[in-house]
């Protein structure tokens, strides 16, 4: 039996352990490469959120009370299911998201690893014994936060959903998941079905697709104690403000405009070899995408020529029917934003070395050279297949320009002198650094997150996940009641 066939998920939300009609009606799931309708999704409303929050709070208590081995077993089984249903999930991911098959396979690999890593969390130490100046036993204990709201984006919906869902569940929480409506099958329905098949008790994970009203209802719901949001910086600011008003923790994984420094001793051919993954993977629709290249003056022209040639030869098309390097942009609004940033930068003096054209939602990989520092592609997150390249004459200039950004997510440095690269990285504020690699990397056991406009908090790895999804309680115990002067 397949994961989705034979299950009445179409036009439904997953609430209270059942596939039921949502208060927000239904809408079509559209394939961006063709415009064809792939199916229908249910949509939740604020009333659904209230009901889900209440039932999740009840289910969470029983889930958290299970032996840690029982929770670990569910997570391990979930990890196995990603592989067992890989062909079906890959097909949906390619068609619904526009991902090329290797990108879909990467997402499936990471999803399984996230579940396996999370399966180790229930068996981690849950506290510390503390010294005390009083005659008592003093302890700090980690307890589940309760109900966690996970709001995930369209671009890599499997990874950016499971990254929060798996550890939150493993640590004894219940989860309300709101996937982006554009990719709610692979970002929501698939996750709900995986855990349903893995034996997760009813009500512990509930999946509620919807728009802004559903997201705001989740943040405000009194049962929700932690919010994990991945998306744009603009929306993240709103989520953070609303969470602050309700005195809730918000983990915000937001946008980026990551820099890749190509130093004067770099092998140009090898540096250009990094660029396909850095700027064109998933059509550039990744928060870690390299958005600014800073290339040493002595190798600049050679680098631009080779990068433009590479971009010109990358095939673009429907990843479901053709062997391509880039699929479609998610929708017309996103495509038009990308094109506006490109043309606006050319108007300001940037040289179009490759690309800058599109057919329907298929945007050609684009290289811009001699990019003015005030141009839109330099100052803003493009979120498309665009590589802006800036010439630098010294290491000091490279550090200064790379640091002049509100964002601080990922950084790459290419050099034959790795210690020099590490020393430079110490001067550029980011949450992630890769020496002799590009900026797009992801491993389930590594802490992930940025600084500044790129977000708050870290997810990934035992330490960061435990901090994200638990509360710390101080506990003391005495053999006899204490006595006080009055």
Catalytic residue among 287, 370, 380, 467: 287
- Sort strands 147-151 and 224-230 into parallel, antiparallel or unpaired: parallel
CA pair distance 80, 96, nearest whole angstrom: 23
Does 287 participate in catalysis according to the annotation?
A: yes
CA pair distance 445, 459, nearest whole angstrom: 9
Does 253 participate in catalysis according to the annotation?
A: yes
Among residues 342, 346, 348, 325, the alpha carbon closest in space to that of 386 is found at: 342
Q: How far is CA 197 from the centre of its chain?
A: 24
Among residues 147, 62, 117, the alpha carbon closest in space to that of 445 is found at: 117
CA pair distance 169, 238, nearest whole angstrom: 26
In sequence order, the β-bridge partners of residue 115 are none
- Sort strands 366-369 and 351-354 into parallel, antiparallel or unpaired: antiparallel
Catalytic residue among 31, 114, 196, 253: 253
Q: So which residues are the catalytic ones?
A: 253, 287
């Amino acid at each position: 039996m397949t994961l989705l066939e034979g299950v009445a998920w179409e036009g439904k939300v997953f609430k209270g352990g059942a596939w039921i009609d949502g208060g927000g009606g239904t809408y079509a799931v559209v394939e961006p490469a063709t415009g064809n309708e792939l199916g229908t999704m249910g949509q939740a409303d604020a009333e659904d959120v209230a009901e889900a929050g209440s039932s999740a709070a009840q289910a969470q208590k029983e889930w958290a009370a299970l032996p840690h081995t029982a929770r670990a077993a569910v997570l391990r089984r979930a990890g196995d299911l990603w592989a067992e249903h890989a062909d079906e999930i890959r097909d949906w991911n390619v068609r619904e998201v526009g991902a090329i098959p290797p990108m879909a396979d990467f997402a499936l690999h990471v999803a399984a690893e996230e579940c396996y890593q999370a399966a180790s969390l229930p068996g981690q130490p849950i506290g510390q014994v503390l010294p005390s100046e009083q005659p008592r036993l003093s302890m700090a204990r980690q307890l589940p936060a309760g109900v966690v709201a996970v709001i995930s984006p369209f671009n890599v919906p499997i990874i950016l959903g499971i990254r929060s869902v798996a550890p939150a569940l493993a640590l004894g929480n219940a989860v309300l998941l709101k996937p982006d409506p554009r990719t709610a099958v692979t970002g929501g329905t698939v996750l709900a079905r995986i855990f349903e098949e893995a034996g997760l008790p009813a009500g512990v994970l509930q999946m509620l697709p919807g728009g802004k009203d559903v997201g705001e209802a989740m943040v405000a719901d009194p049962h929700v104690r932690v919010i994990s949001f991945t998306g744009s910086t603009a929306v993240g600011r709103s989520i953070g403000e609303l969470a602050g008003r309700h005195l809730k923790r918000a983990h915000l994984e937001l946008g980026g405009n990551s820099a890749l420094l190509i130093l004067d001793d770099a092998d140009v051919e090898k540096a250009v070899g990094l660029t396909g993954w850095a700027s064109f993977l998933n059509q550039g629709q990744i928060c870690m995408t390299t958005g600014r290249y800073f290339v040493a003056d002595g190798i600049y022209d050679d680098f631009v020529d080779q990068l433009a040639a590479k971009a010109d030869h990358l095939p673009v098309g429907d990843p479901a029917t053709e062997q391509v390097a880039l699929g479609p942009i998610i929708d017309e609004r996103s495509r038009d934003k990308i094109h506006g940033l490109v043309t606006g930068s050319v108007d300001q003096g940037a040289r179009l070395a490759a690309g800058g054209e599109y057919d329907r939602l298929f945007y050609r990989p684009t290289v811009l050279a001699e990019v003015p520092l005030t141009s839109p592609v330099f100052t803003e997150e493009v979120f498309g297949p665009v590589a802006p390249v800036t010439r630098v004459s010294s290491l000091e200039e490279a550090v200064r320009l790379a640091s002049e950004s509100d964002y601080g997510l990922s950084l790459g440095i290419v050099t034959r002198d790795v210690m020099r690269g590490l020393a430079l990285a110490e001067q550029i504020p980011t949450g992630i650094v890769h020496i002799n690699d590009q900026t797009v990397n992801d491993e389930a056991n590594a802490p992930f997150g940025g600084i500044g406009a790129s977000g708050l908090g870290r997810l990934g790895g035992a330490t960061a996940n435990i901090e994200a999804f638990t509360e710390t309680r101080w506990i003391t115990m005495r053999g006899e009641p204490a006595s006080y002067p009055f």
